[in-house]
A and B are shown apart, each in its own frame.
Chain A
Amino acid sequence: MRRIFTGILTFSMLLTGCVNSSVGTQSRLELIKRRDSLICGVSGKIPGFSFLNRNGTYQGLDVDICKAFAAAFLGSSQKVQFRPLTAPERFTAIRTGEIDLLSRNTTFNLSRDSSKGNGLIFAPIIFHDGQGLMVRKSRKINNIEELAQKSICVGSGTTTEQNINDAFESKSLPYTPIKYQDLNQVVAGYLQGRCAAMTSDRSQLAAAKSGFKNPKAHIILDDVLSKEPLAPAAAEGDQLLSDAMRWVVFALFTAEEKGITQSNINEKLEIARSNPQMKPLRRFLGIEGDLGEKLGIPNDFVVKVITSTGNYGEIYNRHLGPNSKVPIPRGLNKIYTEGGLHFAPPFN
């Protein structure tokens, strides 16, 4: 009895220690500015999205989005610290305030957005993905039906886990999920032959495949099991930060739409300065108006962002374009004028 009592006492003390008592009304954006550094949660394990390169720095689409935020909020894309997080860790990290924002292949869905769910607030979707299945060519499996009764390697704590179950259950196909906490373990389990197939977002499958010894021995099945719109996110209830994030992403899209790139930004700036009649461009680049100030960040944030990371298309091509290590066709990820889904509201 005494043991139980002391146990409970210590336990409740520990619990209270976990709670951050300074849940104030101040925006995280102010904190980021005061710290003069942005703490960004990334995966760190997905080539093309966020991956540690040989120089020990992170690279990828998700990483460049963080850099764009840092450039907009703090004026320099260097003022960002990356925190590699596993899938199950990421929501706790953002809810407890360990990181400022999440840019980590996170699927935008209802449970994660709602305040009674994971309590996040999402920035616009930066990558439209879908869940797929990868198998060995030698297994001669062509569709999901042929995977019945087989083991499937899957990462735990992801929407992937739920989708694979929905997909198999709706077809009444029995299967055995082998769950690992980490994508590297999923890959290891699959390569060691524990599972007939591995499942993840198709972009991640392509990224994983690019690192295999013999990528051609594996194929990604045509079945697309789900919509996986990936978006950066912040903790709910922070209007200032989430507004700023939203418009930084929109700025990346708009710059591509307007043909403003890293190499011609100074030229465009000159043109805007010398032509007072080009109102929309002047507003977008912060030469007139107070669009940045309305968001609580400098007026010229678009210039800072494009100078340091380039527009959305440039970021995409750098990490996922045809000449990159992880080529993924742009498909839905084109700008809307070219038939894709990326669309930004006007900068007015």
Chain B
Amino acid sequence: MKISYNAIAQLLIALLVIFVICILINNLTLNLIKTGLGFSFAWLFRPASFALAEHPLPYSPSDSYAWALFIGWLNSLKVIFYSLLLATLIGTCVGLFRVGKNALLRIVSAGYIAIIRQTPLLLQLMFWYFVAILGIKETITSPIGDLLSISNQGTNFLGIKLSAEFTSLLIGLSVFTSAYIAEVVRGGINSVQKGQWESFRSLGLRESTGLYKIIIPQALPAILPGLTSQYLNLAKNSTLAIAVGYSDIYAINDTIINQTGRPIEGFIILLLSFLFLNLLISNGMELLNSMITKSNNP
């Protein structure tokens, strides 16, 4: 008997949820019709007629709005992916320095985290773009020979050309997120019991070996959830690209809404694409988490 009660309750809740959704969607469409907007995605296949500075796949202004949005999504993905790697690298290093034995590194990394975490990201992006990158002017500087050359027209790293906009967004996002990741890493390492440090030291293991073999594997389960949320934040923060002139999906959507006069449809596409992207990230991280938990407890 118990089971069937439960089933009925679940069914009722499901019906209620569907009913509410129906009312909401109906309400939305009705209001749209009332304001003369209607609800349509037909404009997606009309020519975009605006040019884009950066496109990983072929694109011309006679391509459709849908294709322009897809290019924007790829641009977003590109900057998110590389900043994710860079932020993790910097963040892990800074986090390790923060708990390390070297006093100078400890102070420097604490200062780094303090400065980065206490200033707004938008300000930092503006700084990297308008002051740091565009401030270089047109004279090309090559700090490490032919490997890297920087000018206000962009960066050339190992023959790969990066625009000034991409470079500043990459640096800005990576630096900002790395400060948070450093704190997550530090928190994770501090969560490992002190006895673990003492025991590997008494076994005569070197500090670095002990850290990688004993401490980090135990810290990872505590680090990963925090890391996931930082990655999600990074993905969402990438929409600030518009401030530095990078053509990410948000910036392109902005232009499209203006040209087509379809803000609701535009924002729906934007929301869904971010939902999809962030689900990818969070599910990927969950997979990684379960793999690590399994290998820790076979």
A95-B258 Cα distance, complex, nearest whole Å: 12
CB–CB A23/B34 < 8 A: yes
CB–CB A91/B261 < 8 A: yes
- Using CB atoms, name the residue of chain A closest to B35: A23
Q: Is A274 an interface residue (CB 8 A)?
A: no
Q: Is B123 an interface residue (CB 8 A)?
A: no
CB–CB B27/A175 < 8 A: no
Q: Is the interface of B mostly helix, strand, loop or mixed?
A: helix
A157-B257 Cα distance, complex, nearest whole Å: 8
Q: Is A237 an interface residue (CB 8 A)?
A: yes
A87-B51 Cα distance, complex, nearest whole Å: 18
Q: Which of B19-39 touch A at CB < 8 Å?
A: 20-21, 24-25, 27-28, 31-32, 34-38
Interface-facing stretch out of A6-14, A48-56, A57-65: A6-14
What A residues does B268 contact at CB under 8 A?
15
What A residues does B264 contact at CB under 8 A?
15, 18
- Using CB atoms, name the residue of chain A closest to B61: A165
Give chain A's interface residue range (CB within 8 Å of chain B). Answer: 35 or more
For the complex formed, measure the closest distance between the CB of A95 and the CB atoms of chain B, giving whole angstroms: 7
A221-B71 Cα distance, complex, nearest whole Å: 33
Q: Is B137 an interface residue (CB 8 A)?
A: yes
Excluding A168-B51, A177-B50, 18 further A-B contacts by CB distance (< 8 Å) are A12-B28, A13-B24, A88-B254, A88-B257, A95-B263, A112-B261, A117-B260, A119-B261, A156-B254, A156-B255, A162-B49, A178-B165, A181-B242, A188-B130, A193-B134, A193-B137, A194-B152, A194-B153
Could you name 13 residue pairs across A and B whose Cβ atoms are closer than 8 Å? A3-B282, A23-B35, A115-B36, A156-B254, A156-B258, A161-B255, A162-B50, A162-B259, A165-B51, A169-B61, A181-B254, A185-B245, A192-B135
> Which residues does A use to contact B, with CB under 8 Å?
3-4, 7-9, 11-13, 15-16, 18-21, 23, 87-88, 91-92, 95, 111-112, 115-119, 151, 153, 156-158, 161-162, 165-166, 168-169, 175-181, 185, 188-189, 192-194, 236-237
> Which residues does B use to contact A, with CB under 8 Å?
17, 20-21, 24-25, 27-28, 31-32, 34-38, 49-53, 61, 130, 134-135, 137-138, 152-153, 164-165, 242-243, 245, 247, 251, 254-255, 257-261, 263-264, 268, 271, 275, 279, 282
* The 9 nearest A-B residue pairs measured at CB: A192-B134, A118-B261, A157-B258, A19-B31, A16-B24, A12-B24, A176-B53, A117-B261, A88-B254
